[in-house]
Amino acid sequence: MEMGYRVVVVGATGNVGREMLNILAEREFPCDEIAALASSRSQGTEIEFGETGRMLKVQNVDNFDFTGWDIALFAAGSGPTQIHAPRAAAAGCVVIDNSSLYRMDPDVPLIVPEVNPDAIDGYTAKNIIANPNCSTAQMVVALKPLHDAAKIKRVVVSTYQSVSGAGKEGMDELFEQSRAIFVGDPVEPRKFTKQIAFNVIPHIDVFLDDGSTKEEWKMVAETKKILDPKVKVTATCVRVPVFIGHSESLNIEFENEISAEEAQNILREAPGVMLIDKRENGGYVTPVECVGDFATFVSRVREDSTIDNGLNIWCVSDNLRKGAALNAVQIAELLGRRHLKKG
């Protein structure tokens, strides 16, 4: 008797695609069958399905028939997604897409399950659901319970984003440049616009006309779509020499009164949030500790005395997990529970 889902992972050999396979296995998502797809470059290579010992042969996405498959998790970037996501959706396979392609499409739900699960019901319009940007995802998980409690007016965010957000090439570049500096070799920027080793770069994605970058614009637009269109957001997005894990410094202004202590109590109970906030040496979370974890970690909760009803918080999460692969799998779980009902 067939009970589970037939699941496809597109872009299975990349940073996020591998993590999707790991998380499907770890969370024991009810898959009857799993297909790993990538470009012709990776065709025929084998990858492990999480730590199950089961090997999957990578198939070429170009000639894959999505008919009869239930869910396709896309981790392939906007180019290939533009070609293959509509093909999968038309074949009756629900697409959960990690690229930025469909996020702002009014007919495509943009989902963080802890924040706006009900919005998933709109997936039938195009058979596509979008996964937010990694930095937006962890931020809205932390903001949602506070917004419910005291209504957020405005958020000022500065990000400290790891190089894995720029894919495997980003991680290789940090590693190779660090090594070059230690042995006195010249440093060549390739993936990043400047040296990333022992440096920070206030530039992620392309520049827009108003001087902000697309990454900064994404945080603003996506937060409005997921959390509340009335929330004002301003962002500065910075690439830092960290391999995995994005951090954010958030300054939040509320309509209503909320103390740091109240905020801590709310965050302690909030879904998807782990409050680790001891006011002492090491009593906070850094990217190194969050790697491989499902939670969005919050530390350094304190009042901002320069405005009425203001708080500062520090927020850290594994960008390949909650920022990407985990959120996609959680969307698949939500879709299964509410709509497909097979597992």
Could you tell me the pLDDT band of residue 342, with boundaries at 50, 70 and 90?
confident
CATH superfamily entry for domain 135-319: Dihydrodipicolinate Reductase; domain 2 (3.30.360.10)
Q: Which of 237, 246, 290, 315 is catalytic?
A: 246
Is the pLDDT at 18 greater than 80? The verdict is: yes
Could you tell me the pLDDT band of residue 276, with boundaries at 50, 70 and 90?
very high
Provide mean pLDDT across the span 136-159.
Answer: 98
Is the pLDDT at 101 greater than 60? The verdict is: yes
Provide mean pLDDT across the span 4-31.
Answer: 96
Q: What is the pLDDT of residue 343?
A: 64
Provide mean pLDDT across the span 230-246.
Answer: 98
Active site residue 203: no
- Nearest 5 degrees, angle CA 84-CA 135-CA 164? 70
CATH 3.40.50.720, applies to 5-131+324-340: yes
Strands (DSSP E) contained in the chain are: 5-10, 31-38, 46-48, 55-57, 59-60, 71-74, 94-97, 128-130, 152-161, 232-239, 246-254, 273-275, 296-303, 310-317
- Please answer whether residues 324 and 16 qualify as being in contact, where contact means their C-beta atoms are separated by less than 8 angstroms: yes
Q: Find the range with the poorest average confidence among 49-53, 206-210, 213-217.
A: 49-53
Computed over every residue of the chain, the mean pLDDT equals 97
Q: Which of 93, 134, 237, 290 is catalytic?
A: 134
So where are the chain's domains? Answer: 5-131+324-340, 135-319
Could you tell me the pLDDT band of residue 98, with boundaries at 50, 70 and 90?
very high
- 84 sits in which H/E element: helix 78-90
Could you tell me the pLDDT band of residue 133, with boundaries at 50, 70 and 90?
very high
Could you tell me the pLDDT band of residue 260, with boundaries at 50, 70 and 90?
very high
Active site residue 134: yes
CA 203 to chain centre: 18
What would the pLDDT profile of 153-207 be if each residue is shown by its tens digit? 999 999 999 999 999 999 999 999 999 999 999 999 999 999 999 999 999 999 9
